[in-house]
Amino acid sequence: MPSSPNMGCEMAPSADQVLKALSTIVDPDLGRDVVSLGMIKDLHISPQGQVAFTFELTTPACPVRDQFRRRAEEALQGMEGVTGVDIKMTANVRAAQGRQHQEMLPEVRQTVAVASGKGGVGKSTVAVNLAAGLAQSGARVGLLDADIYGPSVPTLTGTREQPRVVDDKLVPLQAYGLKLMSIGFLGGADKAMIWRGPMVSRAIQQMMTDVRWGELDYLVIDLPPGTGDASLTIAQSVPLTGVVIVATPQELALEIAVKALQMFRTLNVTPLGLVENMSWFVCPGCGQEHYVFGHGSTERAAQRLGVPFLGGIPLDQQIRSEADSGAPIVVSRPDSPGARAFRDLASQVAARTSIQAFRRLPVINVR
C-alpha cells in the first residue's frame, strides 16, 4: 500500500499551538503578550510544518523590533513538527484611545506636543530631530511649528517656500520625509508677529484645520516656550496623545520645565516624559564626558513626578552647526552621538504613544 506524504513525519502543529508558543512573548512597554495584543496576523501553517505569519508592531520605531523577531523564531523553531519559520515584520500606528475632537485632525493617529518651560533649551531642535527620527523609521510624520512668536522650523529644515493653496487648503511643504507647516512660511521667518492672544489662538487652529495634512502616523507639534495662549489653545482643542517636556540640567531651567509639565497635567494632557538636552559634553581633546550643567537632575525629577525619563541629548557642536545649516543631524550625520541620542528619543516617544493607544484595548483570548 502506498504511503501518504506525511507518513513517518511529524505532524505540523496546529494554529492554537503556534499562538500559545508566541504568547510567551511579552511587550515590555505594554505589559501584555503579543498574541492578546493582536500583533500576530495572517498565520499560515503548511502540511509540511512551514509556519508563516505577519508580526505587526505598534510603531515602525519599535525599540525591540529585532528582539521580537528573534524571540518568535526561538519560540517556534524548537516546536515539534515545525520545519521552518517565515516572519514578515510590519507596523501599524494606532490612534490613541479616548481622544476627543477627532474632527480637527481626523487622519492623524498620534499627536505629540514638544514643550519647554523657558526658551533657549533647544526645544525646536529636539522637535525637528524627533520628527525626522520617527520618519526615518518608516512612519508618516508631520511637523507643525506652533511657535508663533519665534518660528524656527524654516531655519532648522532649510525650507523657505510659501505653501500652495488647493481647494482652500494649505498644502504642507516637504523636507527630510516630513510634512511641514509654520507661520514662518506664511508671514516670513524673519518677521516679528505682534499678535494678541485671540489672534494667536485663531492662527494655531487654522494651521491645523486649514492644512491638508493627509494621513499621518504622527504629528509633532513644536509649542512656544512657557504656558501662554498657544500652548493652552492646543492643549484644550487638539486631540493630543501627550507632551514631551524638554529641559536642561540646570536646576532653574528644570524647575520651570516642571511647572510646564504640571500645567499640561492640569489640562488632562498625558506627559510622555522628560528629555534632558545639553546633557553632557565630550571633550574633543581627551574624549572624556563632562557634565557642564550638572548631572542626573532631570532623571531624578522624572522619578519624583512619576513620568518617564526619555534620555539625554549631548551638548554637541555638530547638532548646532547642522541645525544652523538647515539639516536635522539624524539625517545629515546619522552615525554621530547626537543622531543616535535623537533616534533613541524617537523610539522612546513611539513606545510611550503606543501605551496610550493600547491602554484600553480588549484582550484577545488564545484557546
Q: Answer whether residue 32 shows pLDDT above 80.
A: yes
Sign, Cα dihedral of 135, 94, 31, 19:
negative
- What integer pLDDT is reported at residue 214 of this predicted model? 93
Percent of the chain scoring above 90 in pLDDT: 54
Q: Which stretch of 111-115, 164-168, 249-253, 316-320 has the lowest confidence by average pLDDT?
A: 249-253
The verdict on residue 247 lying in a domain is: yes
What average pLDDT does the segment 164-170 reach? Answer: 89
Q: Looking at residues 294-321, what average pLDDT do you find? A: 90
User: For residue 112, what is the domain's CATH number?
Assistant: 3.40.50.300
pLDDT the model gives residue 27: 93
The mean pLDDT of 263-283, rounded to a whole number, is 89
Q: Last residue of some domain: 58, 91, 124?
A: 91
What is the mean pLDDT of the segment spanning 170-186? Answer: 91
Is 201 a residue whose pLDDT tops 70?
Answer: no
Q: What pLDDT is attached to residue 6?
A: 43
Q: What is the pLDDT of residue 250?
A: 84
Q: Residue 56 corresponds to which cell in the numbers above?
A: 505587526
Closest CA to 208 of 219, 223, 218, 199: 219
Query: Which pLDDT score is estimated for 104?
Result: 77
CATH code, 87: 3.30.300.130
pLDDT for res 196: 47
Q: Tell me the whole-structure pTM to 2 decimals.
A: 0.86
Cell of residue 225, nine digits: 516656550
> Residue 322: pLDDT above 90?
yes
Same structural domain, 83 and 123: no
How many structural domains is the chain composed of?
2
> Between the ranges 198-202, 299-303, 327-331, where is the mean pLDDT highest?
327-331
In-domain check, residue 366: no
In a domain, 60, yes or no: yes
pLDDT recorded at residue 184: 85
- Note whether residue 338 is domain-resident: yes
Q: Which residue has the higher pLDDT, 128 or 264?
A: 128
Domain boundary among 91, 123, 156: 91
**361 pLDDT tier (thresholds 50, 70, 90):** very low
Q: Which residues pair with 175 in a beta bridge?
A: 178
Domain co-membership, 49 together with 139:
no
Do the domain assignments include residue 8? no
Q: Is residue 182 pLDDT above 80, yes or no?
A: yes
- Say whether both 216 and 276 belong to one domain: yes
Using the predicted structure, report yes or no on whether residue 365 has a pLDDT greater than 50.
no
Is 10 inside a domain boundary? Answer: no
**82, 123: one domain:** no
Q: Say if 9 falls within a structural domain.
A: no
Which range marks the domain in which residue 319 is found? 108-358
pLDDT of amino acid 137: 93
- 65-69, 138-142, 235-239: least confident range: 235-239
**11-26 residue pLDDT tens:** 889 999 999 999 999 9
What average pLDDT does range 96-105 have in this prediction? 60
Which of 39-43, 126-130, 280-284 shows the lowest mean pLDDT across its residues?
Answer: 280-284
* For residue 130, pLDDT beyond 70: yes
56-90 pLDDT, tens digit each = 999 999 888 999 999 999 999 889 999 999 999 99
Looking at the domain assignment, is residue 237 inside a domain? yes
Q: Residue 242 pairs with which residues in a beta bridge?
A: 112
